[in-house]
């Protein structure tokens, strides 16, 4: 079983280490300090073409220390948790702090913002998994997939991963938080060929609860189906058409939003949504919420990486930006208050518009369903968007044939405002949970 033995004892040990480190920092003249200590264990299995390619056990641990001498900041980290190593790491952070320039925005988050009531988020669910079972599941997924069609000629492998970790964050405000979590996944990636056409695709499942993972057989079947349906793709002539992003790609569109309204992008003035609070950036039926305290969700947390309490909030309400993603530093730079977003966002839920993926295709009529994006052609400052793509051409609401070797282009501002619908086919395998997204039109460049 992949689990942390005696979590209570480990938590008590980490608490003592953190307390001693903070006391030592104060004795060395630091006006404030913060420390993070974590430990984890895991198992990774990879098979390919019926053979085991990787079997790896993980045992990780580390400490990160930040000290402040007034507004001077020093940071150091180590993978050694022995008392001497912690002392050496602290000395290194202090030396760095003494030689860095003053920055009036440096410092711990304000004491009154620390989390005081820690909810139970139910994130720790160890898996009764050993090497033999992991290999069996990976082989089951790959064997199922390869048996579906003789056109599946190769495999990029199937894998099983399980990880359990515990960590503490403490600072000189007196805040201390200990949390443990697990994460498990199963994946399969295949190669198919039909004549001169060769394609690759994959599928995966991920959850902190082993019982919520899809079965190995279903992962193999889905990976096979996705790979086979891409064979014999065609290009398109250049045209402007409606575009539907499937959920796993729609998540990326929302990711571009979160990057644009992150505090660092705002104070660096490097965002296509600069000074956007209160601005209409989506149609008025679009709503995006942050829900940090969802039980068993992969993006859940009671406090951010500075100890600041997290809470439900609207990010987009009726299409308008309600707030940024701010840690204490970016908040001070902008003359605002931290949103508990140090270390990134928590669970982001894009509300659907009550339409299924099938109904979305029918609403689109004729257009392109995008299932893969290639390259990184997104300018976060201007919002210009141009990426290689593959997917399926749709006519009269029905998929006609696979499409490849095309580029889709637009500007994220226009794309956001042009959203027509959000599907009920929610993908909950990450911090951003959304269904398919339908856009009114984008330029497609092909032959």
Strand 348-350 versus strand 432-433 pairing type: parallel
**Position 318 confidence tier, pLDDT thresholds 50, 70, 90:** very high
Rounded Cα distance between 56 and 47, Å, is 12
Mean residue pLDDT of the chain comes to 95
Q: Which domains does the chain have, with CATH numbers?
A: 7-228 (3.30.2290.10), 239-252+352-445 (no CATH)
Helices (H) then strands (E): counts for the chain: 9, 17
The token pair at 363 is 């609403």
Q: What are 251's two structure tokens? A: 């998540």
Cβ–Cβ contacts within 10 Å for residue 440, how many? 18
- pLDDT of 4 > 80? The answer is no
- Which 3 state secondary structure label does DSSP give 186? strand
The yes-or-no verdict on residue 312 having pLDDT over 70 is yes
Q: 413, 412, 419: which is closest to 435 by C-alpha?
A: 419
DSSP conformation letters of 48-95: ETTEEEEEEEEEEEEEEEEEEETTEEEEEEES--SHHHHHHHHHHHHH
Give the alpha-carbon dihedral of 418, 424, 427, 431, to 10 degrees. Answer: 70
pLDDT recorded at residue 296: 96
3-state secondary structure of 126: coil
Structure tokens at 14: 């980490």
Give the model's pLDDT for residue 376: 85
Query: Binning pLDDT at 50, 70 and 90, where does residue 446 land?
Result: confident
Give the CA count within 13 Å in the CB-facing half-sphere of 139: 11
Residue 260 pLDDT class (50, 70, 90 cuts) = very high
User: Chain-centre distance of CA 58, in angstroms?
Assistant: 21
Inform me whether the pLDDT recorded for 427 exceeds 80: yes
Q: Render pLDDT for 153-196 as a digit per residue (tens, 0 to 9).
A: 999 999 999 999 999 999 999 999 999 999 999 999 999 999 99
Rounded distance between C-alpha atoms, residue 413 and residue 36, angstroms = 38
Spatial distance between the Cα atoms of 260 and 256, rounded to a whole number of angstroms: 6
| pLDDT at residue 225, rounded to an integer | 96
Over residues 59-77, mean pLDDT: 96
φ, ψ for residue 265, nearest 5 deg: -65, -35
Beta strand segments in 236-383, E: 239-245, 288-290, 313-317, 320-321, 348-350, 367-374
Local confidence band at 421 (pLDDT 50, 70, 90 cut-offs): very high
| Residue whose C-alpha is closest to residue 21's, from 11, 37, 3, 35 | 35
pLDDT of residue 5: 75
Cα–Cα distance between 303 and 324 in angstroms, integer?
A: 17
Average pLDDT over residues 348-370: 96
Tokens 């001070």 — which residue?
Answer: 332
Question: What confidence score (pLDDT) does residue 1 get?
Answer: 63
Looking at residue 197, its pLDDT comes to 93
| Structure confidence by residue, pLDDT tens digits, 25-58 | 999 999 999 999 999 999 999 999 999 999 999 9
Q: What token pair was written down for 366?
A: 């004729």
pTM for this model (two decimals): 0.93
**Beta-bridge mates of residue 312:** none
**pLDDT confidence of residue 2:** 63
Mean per-residue pLDDT, 127-150: 96
310: left (phi over 0), alpha (psi -120 to 50) or beta: beta
């Amino acid at each position: 079983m992949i689990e942390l033995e005696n979590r209570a004892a480990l938590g008590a040990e980490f608490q003592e280490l953190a307390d001693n480190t903070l006391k030592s920092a104060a004795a060395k003249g630091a006006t404030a300090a913060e420390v993070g200590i974590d430990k984890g264990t895991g198992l990774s299995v990879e098979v390919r073409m019926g053979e085991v390619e990787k079997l790896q056990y993980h045992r990780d641990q580390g400490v990160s220390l930040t000290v402040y001498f007034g507004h001077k900041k020093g940071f150091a980290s180590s993978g050694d948790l022995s008392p001497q190593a912690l002392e050496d790491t602290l000395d290194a952070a202090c030396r760095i702090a003494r030689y860095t320039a003053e920055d009036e925005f440096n410092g711990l988050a304000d004491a009154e913002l620390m989390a005081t009531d820690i909810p139970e988020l139910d994130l720790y669910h160890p898996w009764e998994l050993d090497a033999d079972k992991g290999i069996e599941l990976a082989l089951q997924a790959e064997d199922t997939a390869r048996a579906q069609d003789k056109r599946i000629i190769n495999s990029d492998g199937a894998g099983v991963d399980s990880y359990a970790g515990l960590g503490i964050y403490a600072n000189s405000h007196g805040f201390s938080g200990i949390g443990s979590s697990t994460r498990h996944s199963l994946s399969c990636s295949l190669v198919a060929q039909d004549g001169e056409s060769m394609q690759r695709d994959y599928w995966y499942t991920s959850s902190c609860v082993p019982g919520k993972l899809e079965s190995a057989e279903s992962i193999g079947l889905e990976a096979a189906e996705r790979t086979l349906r891409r064979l014999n793709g065609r290009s398109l002539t250049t045209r402007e058409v409606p575009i539907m992003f499937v959920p796993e790609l729609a998540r990326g569109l929302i990711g571009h939003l979160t990057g644009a309204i992150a505090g660092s992008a705002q104070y660096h003035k490097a965002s296509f949504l600069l000074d956007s609070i209160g601005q209409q950036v989506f149609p008025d039926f679009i709503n995006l919420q942050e829900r940090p305290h969802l039980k068993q969700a992969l993006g859940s947390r009671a406090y951010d990486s500075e100890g600041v309490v997290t809470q439900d909030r609207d990010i987009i309400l009726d299409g308008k930006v309600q707030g940024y993603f701010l840690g204490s530093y970016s908040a001070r730079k902008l003359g605002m208050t931290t949103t508990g977003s140090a270390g990134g966002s928590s669970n982001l839920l894009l509300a659907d518009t009550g339409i299924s993926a099938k109904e979305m295709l029918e609403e689109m009529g004729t257009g392109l369903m995008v299932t893969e994006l290639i390259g990184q052609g997104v300018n976060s400052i201007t919002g210009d968007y141009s990426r290689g793509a593959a997917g399926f051409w749709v006519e009269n609401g029905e998929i006609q044939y696979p499409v490849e070797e095309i580029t889709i282009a637009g500007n994220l501002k226009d794309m956001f405002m042009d959203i027509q619908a959000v599907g009920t086919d929610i993908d909950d395998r990450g911090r951003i949970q959304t269904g398919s997204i339908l856009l009114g039109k984008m330029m497609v460049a092909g032959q």
